[in-house]
């Protein structure tokens, strides 16, 4: 089976994991590295180069052209509106969905000095940092995980925030100064989940990857992505979400905030695990009614945010 993937260290580690777990053994499958718009523009602001699908579009096109059999994505990078001709074949068991702080001097988030510089390319992370610590400075930071760690070590900033799942998959979890609790920072919808994308009419491949699907992770991710879609979608909007499934129900928490940290909103709701999409859509309606709409409208029309 031909597995489409980005070429970063993290993407390759994730795709190797999928290769090793597919039916038939790793020797029956090979990775096909595809450069995406995001990879070709490693320092440009994501907002400037399009944002939506910036790490997935070219891989999806290769899948549609039958140049690969499956595509492996970080689910948080995949747009919520499904591309015609493609579908999700499996959502793998979730890694730690939380964000992690890595500081140069080993200082945790609450003890960073006033004026400390925190690096992240995410408006969601920026918003939650400034909502809790308006005395900090947030600077744009792109690149793969090793590049971001190198920039930190070079003294360009005091701390960076990255996905804990990425550190774990690269065997770098020891670099984390602190894994941020969700009361401090809600993750991106779908964070920590690997998605396998297939062609809609490919029944053979669908059957092969179905065994990799994790029902709990799929239910949580469905609730989070339905919420994001209900709020207008987009990987660049400052929206955090975390669904937790237990005992037949899902607790879904959401954060919507201005990139400068104010105003910001938090809420949560519960629903049956069998209807995760309904829960996400309903909570989105609630948030829009509570003031999320003008925040998100301003973000989408703004040019000044990195």
Write the DSSP symbol of residue 108. -
Catalytic site includes residue 69: no
Residues 6+ apart with CB under 8 A from 140: 45, 119, 120, 121, 306
Neighbours of 69 (CB within 10 A): 20
Question: In Å, what is the CA distance from 45 to each residue of 84, 142, 159, 191, 275?
Answer: 28, 8, 19, 20, 36
Cross-strand pairs, 32: 4
d(CA 264, CA 186): 13
Cross-strand pairs, 119: 139, 160
Write the DSSP symbol of residue 15. H
Q: Are 179 and 167 in contact (CB under 8 A)?
A: no
Q: State the catalytic residue, choosing from 77, 99, 158, 202.
A: 77
At residue 215, the 3 state secondary structure works out as: helix
Neighbours of 132 (CB within 10 A): 16
Which residues are known catalytic residues?
77
């Amino acid at each position: 089976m031909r597995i489409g993937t980005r070429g970063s260290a993290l993407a390759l580690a994730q795709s190797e994991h999928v290769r090793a777990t597919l039916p038939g053994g790793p020797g029956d499958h090979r990775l096909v590295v595809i450069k995406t718009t995001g990879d070709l523009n490693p320092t440009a602001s994501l907002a400037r180069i399009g944002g939506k699908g910036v790490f997935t579009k070219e891989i999806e096109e290769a899948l549609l052209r039958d140049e690969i059999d499956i595509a492996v994505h970080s689910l948080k990078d995949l747009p919520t509106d499904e591309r015609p001709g493609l579908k999700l074949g499996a959502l793998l068991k979730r890694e730690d969905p939380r964000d992690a702080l890595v500081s140069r001097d080993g200082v945790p988030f609450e003890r960073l000095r006033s004026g400390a510089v925190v690096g992240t390319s995410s408006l969601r992370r920026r918003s939650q940092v400034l909502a809790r610590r308006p005395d900090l400075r947030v600077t744009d930071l792109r690149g793969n995980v090793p590049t971001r760690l190198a920039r930190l070590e070079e003294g360009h900033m005091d701390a960076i925030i990255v996905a804990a799942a990425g550190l774990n998959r690269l065997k770098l979890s020891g670099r984390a100064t602190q894994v941020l609790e969700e009361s401090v920072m809600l993750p991106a919808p779908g964070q920590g989940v690997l998605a396998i994308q297939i062609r809609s009419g490919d029944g053979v491949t669908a059957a092969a990857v179905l065994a990799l699907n994790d029902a709990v992770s799929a239910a949580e991710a469905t609730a989070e992505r339905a919420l994001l879609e209900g709020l207008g979608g987009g990987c660049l909007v400052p929206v955090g979400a975390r669904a937790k499934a237990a005992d037949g129900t899902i607790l879904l928490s959401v954060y919507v905030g201005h990139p400068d940290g104010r105003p910001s909103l938090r809420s949560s709701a519960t629903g049956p695990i069998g209807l995760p999409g309904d829960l996400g859509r309903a909570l989105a309606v609630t948030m829009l009614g509570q003031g999320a709409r003008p925040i998100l409208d301003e973000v989408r029309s703004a040019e000044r945010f990195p």
